[in-house]
């Protein structure tokens, strides 16, 4: 039960309050170094090394399939919109010839906007239907995978940031 005036935070779709352990680690970093990792002076180099170490740790934690985790194999972004744009529009900007991409009908708006843009640039974008519960229709995905050229990317949002619906990602991976 909440007390009068007690805050109930209901906007986790936009921003999650910072965990105290994370805040403590960030404060220690800022207090010890507090420099721009792009700077060439000593503190900047220390900050860059700390950022590279953290990035390598993230790569190891994610099981990056490389012999020695390298910071350039993990890209840190400011949030979901930037990451989605990098992942989807990156195909076009890397000079890739148009191909086929499958996206769910309920992807993050930034993913759908990027897919629409790719479609205008000549890419084939097929949308995977979802059922009434908001989960991918696996049979429809299978049908799409059997049609046309093999997709270069299948985009399925694991957890919907607005509804909380979890997708059967393991089943999707098996089908792909």
- The predicted structure's pLDDT at residue 95: 79
Supply 6's token pair.
């007690």
Cα–Cα distance list, 116 to 9, 42, 62, 136, 156 (Å) = 33, 45, 29, 20, 16
Among residues 73, 99, 118, which one ends one of the domains?
73
Mean pLDDT of 133-137: 96
Whole-angstrom distance, CA of residue 31 vs CA of residue 49 = 16
Whether 12 maps to a domain, the answer reads: no
Same domain, 65 and 148: no
34 vs 111, residue with greater confidence? 111
- SS3 for the chain is CCCCCCCCCCCCCCCCCCCHHHHHHHHHHHHHCCCCCCCCCHHHHHHHHHHHHHHHHHHHHHCCCCCCCCHHHCCCCCCHHHHHHHHHHHHHHCCCCCCEEEEECCCCHHHHHHHHHHHHCCCEEEEECECCCCCECHHHHHHHHHCCCCCCEEECCCECCCCCCECCHHHHHHHC
Percent share of the chain, pLDDT over 70: 95
Mean pLDDT of 108-115: 94
Same domain, 99 and 120: yes
**CATH code of the domain covering residue 92:** 3.40.640.10
Same domain, 92 and 134: yes
Whether 54 maps to a domain, the answer reads: yes
Q: Which residues contact 54 (CB under 8 A, 6 or more apart)?
A: none
Mean pLDDT of 119-142: 96
Domain holding 101, by residue range, is: 80-175
Mean pLDDT of 65-93: 80
Same domain, 45 and 107: no
Same domain, 52 and 139: no
Whether 7 maps to a domain, the answer reads: no
Whole-angstrom distance, CA of residue 62 vs CA of residue 155 = 18
Q: What's the predicted TM-score (pTM) here?
A: 0.75
- The predicted structure's pLDDT at residue 125: 96
Q: Which residues contact 135 (CB under 8 A, 6 or more apart)?
A: 165, 166, 167, 168
Same domain, 92 and 159: yes
């Amino acid at each position: 039960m909440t007390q009068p005036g007690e805050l109930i935070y209901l906007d986790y779709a936009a921003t999650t309050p910072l965990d105290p352990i994370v805040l403590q680690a960030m404060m220690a970093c800022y207090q010890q170094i507090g420099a721009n990792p792009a700077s060439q002076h000593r503190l900047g180099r220390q900050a860059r090394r700390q950022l590279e170490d953290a990035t390598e740790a993230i790569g190891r934690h994610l099981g990056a399939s490389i012999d020695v985790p390298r910071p350039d194999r993990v890209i840190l972004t400011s949030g979901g919109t930037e990451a989605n744009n990098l992942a989807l529009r990156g195909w076009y900007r890397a000079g890739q010839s148009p191909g086929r991409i499958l996206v769910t009908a309920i992807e993050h708006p930034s993913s759908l906007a990027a897919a629409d843009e790719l479609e205008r640039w000549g890419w084939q974008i097929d949308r995977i239907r979802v059922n009434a519960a908001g989960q991918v229709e696996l049979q429809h995905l299978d049908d799409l995978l059997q049609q046309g050229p093999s997709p270069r990317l299948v985009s399925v949002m694991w957890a919907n940031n607005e509804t909380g619906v979890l997708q059967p990602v393991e089943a999707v991976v098996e089908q792909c």
